[in-house]
Amino acid sequence: MTSPQDEARAARLRAANINPRTGLATDYLNHFNEAIMLLEMIPDMPECAEDFLGWQPLSYCEHFTASNFKARDLAIEAYDSADQTIRAEFDNLTSAMTSILTAVGDAMRQAKQDKTRATLAEQATGWVKPLVMLAGGVINGSTEADVETIMMGH
């Protein structure tokens, strides 16, 4: 039985693009999609590597604190009270993405040749894109079975 308070909160979360079942918002994935978009441009426009190197890792709360997201306080509060299991799965995926992107950034700073940077960018995109999909699945309340389907589909 859900109380009127629960229903009102769920409606507030939905209005803010926060999944009421998981307490997570897909808006955070824009942070990673931005990095992917820049990586995808590097093979054709090597100068975009500099833009990618400007990308900074941000935690979920840092992202919303720094964003213009209307309901950022609600987003942070919902994340803090999210189910521990769901949040752990989500945090594992997002920290894996952050680690990959940070490592690729470091490697790109070392690499002076455009060709090397292009290869790094393509590899990174191949690793991070599926993780963004999985993280989106966690946000939207998908189950483990869905994760396997996504992995098998590749």
What pLDDT band is residue 49 in, cutting at 50, 70 and 90? very high
Q: How far is CA 140 from the centre of its chain?
A: 13
Q: In whole angstroms, give the CA distance from residue 142 to residue 78.
A: 18
Give the total number of structural domains in the chain: 1
What pLDDT band is residue 69 in, cutting at 50, 70 and 90? confident
SS3 64: helix
What global pTM score does this model have? 0.87
pLDDT on residue 142 = 78
Tell me the residue range of the domain where 13 lies: 4-153
Q: For tokens 């100068």, what's the residue?
A: 47
